[in-house]
Amino acid sequence: MRPSPRAGAAEVPERRAHNLFEAAAAYVTACAEDDQDGIDEASAWVSPEALSFGVSELACRAVATLARERGTSPGAVARDLLGLPEA
C-alpha cells in the first residue's frame, strides 16, 4: 500500500463561510466589548449590506425580547436603551 499524497501533509483547516446572523452577533458583541479587532473580523465575513440587515434584525429581536421581559412596549425599551426621554 502506498500512502496517500496527503499523508503527512499539514492539515489546513477548511474556511467556513459565516452567515449574516453570525456576523451580526459577532459584530455587536465586539462593539459592546470595544474590541476593534473583533469588529474588523466580523465586518469582513459578509457584505456591509448584509451586516446592516443582520444588526437591524438583532436589534429588533433584542428590543422585542426585553419588552416582553419588562412587560412594556418595544418603543419604551428602545427609548430607554438609547437614553431618550419617555415619549
Res 47: pLDDT: 96
Res 5: pLDDT: 54
Res 12: pLDDT: 52
Whole-angstrom distance, CA of residue 82 vs CA of residue 17 = 33
Across the chain, which has 87 residues, the per-10-residue mean pLDDT values are 54 71 97 98 97 97 98 97 92
Q: What is the grid cell recorded at 31?
A: 462593539
Q: What is the grid cell recorded at 23?
A: 456576523
Do the beta carbons of residue 38 and residue 71 sit within 8 Å? no
Res 18: pLDDT: 85
Res 10: pLDDT: 58
Q: What is the grid cell recorded at 87?
A: 415619549
